[in-house]
Structures are given as structure tokens and as C-alpha cells.
Amino acid sequence: MKVCIFGAGAIGGYLGAKLALAGADVSLVARGPHLAAMQDKGLTLLEHGADPVTVPITASDDPEKLGPQDYVVMTLKAHSVPPVVPLMKPLLGPDSTVVSGVNGVPWWYFHKIGGPLEGTRLTSVDPGNAQWDGIGPDNVLGCVVYPAAEVSEPGTVRHIEGNRFSLGEPDGSKSDRAVALSQLLTNAGLKAPVRPKLRDEIWVKLWGNLSFNPISALTDSTLDVLCTDPGTRAVARAMMVEAQTIAENLGVKFPIDVDRRLDGGAAVGSHRTSMLQDLDAGRPMEIDALVGSVKELGMLTGTPTPTLDTVLALVKLRARSAGLYT
């Protein structure tokens, strides 16, 4: 099987390195100094308790040079995906599967979900239907990404924690393509369960992202602080309760309650969320995928979201003031 990681930064680099070390036929689409370093010296992986290991790897900024793939794993920030859909075309053959390893509400969320919202398209995460029309929902396999990693220097990825990539078909079936990819990832030392209800898992991760990320960007606070300070914890909790109501209206079941999810965030410690890191670094922030999409789902289900709406307005203005949101 040929696998291409599209957007091989920290998470994509970690995944690509693990697959390459296991002997998989893997290639990376990357850019800038990180790409140049990988092309020159290979990709170096730093894992806790293990010696650094460098693996030669195929990396390019031109998908045309890589050709059709069995799996194309998207590990970009959500807002970066729609503009690159045309660039993906050389990677997609008639039997290619696009693995959507992107944070937030996925653009394919209402594909094969059944009910009155079947086929609904989300403008907050797929403006202009770029992904729906350009990739096609039948070609997508869902993925919830759990590892944390960073590019410590060009060509080097440091793994911080986690090794699970949960997979799931939009219709909940245990398809041959899902099982084959699960086996490939398992052979690389990763956890890759095939979930019959991946949307439930999407919401548990999103629960934290939709609240912790914007609050941290607004307050410059780490998870341990914002989850234990009475004021910010109350705001996060209210946002999570609103989101839970939306999700349950869509048939989602949560395996834990709100307070346990908040306590889990606090237990992570002095972590700066991805949105706060993007703000610090002057990078575009994933506001629409993590927060705007939930507001859109609230409107679709007729669910009021007053706290989420307030925080969304504030974080959008914060991002605009920094020149990071249009």
C-alpha cells in the first residue's frame, strides 16, 4: 500500500516516521526548511526514552511527483485544507482513500448519518464545498488524532505523548479499507482502532478544543490554570454543556461527564493550547473548525449557544487584531 502524508509537520512527520521505520511505502508532502532538511538528511524522530533515529524518506512539495496513492492522510490545520484540494488531485486515483485527520467538526460529518440532516454541508469548515466536491465524501475515512508532537528543528520531530489514531467510516461499517489501514498503523507500533461510532469520539476531543482553545487564547493561560480558576472553568463548562446539548440532539453519546472532562484538562498541566501557540507564533488560528462549526451545528439543531457565541465573537476579534483571521 502507498501512503502519502499531506501536510507533514509535527503530527504528519511523526506518523510518516513511524510508518517509514516499519518499512511502509510512505511519502510526505511538506514545504519550507522542514522539507529541505528531510530531503537532505532524512527525517529524525525523537521519542521519550529512545535514541534519536533518522530514516530516509520520500518528501516533496509537488504531489505530481508522487503519483496516485492508496491512502492520503490529511494532517493540516482545518482552515488550510480547502485551498489545497486542487493540489491533491495527482495523489488521487479511482480507489484512493482520503483519511481526514483534522481537528474540529469534519466537513463530511453529515454524510451517511441518516435522518433529516443527511448530506448537509458545513460552510464553516468547507467554504464553497471545496472538499465535498473536490474529494467527495464517499472517498473519506474519518480519523481522530491523539498524539502530541512538535517540529523541534527542520527535519526533526519530537514526539511528546500519545500514539492513537482512531479510524471510522462515516456509516460506521468495519470496511476493508479501514481494517487494512488499521493493520498498517498497528504494524508501525501505533494504536488504530476502527470505531463504529467515530462521531462520539470526535465530540469528546472537540469538547475540550472548542472551550479550552479560545479561552486560552483570550487569557494567555495554560490548561491547568483555566480548568481550575473558578471563573474560566465556569465559562468552559457552560460552553461544553451547550455543545453537549447539540451533540446529543444529533445522536451522540458521551462516555464521561463535563466535570471529568474539565478535570482531565487540568491534569494535562501547564500546556499551551494549539490556538494559543498559533497566536504566539503569528499563525492563522483554527477558530472556525473548533468553535464556529459548533455554532453552525447549534443553528442547524435549533440549540441556543449564548456562552459559545460570546467567546467566539471575542476570540475572532482577538485574532483579527493580530492579523490572523479574516
Residues with catalytic function: 205
Spatial separation of the C-alpha atoms in residues 159 and 175, rounded to whole Å:
30
At residue 158, what are phi and psi to the nearest 5 degrees? -105, 120
Show the cell assigned to 76.
493540516
E runs forming strands in 156-294: 156-161, 165-168
DSSP 224-258: HHHTTSHHHHHHHHHHHHHHHHHHHHTT---SS-H
Give every CB contact of residue 58 below 8 A, 6+ residues apart in sequence.
Answer: 26, 27, 28, 66
List the beta bridge partners of residue 167: 143, 194
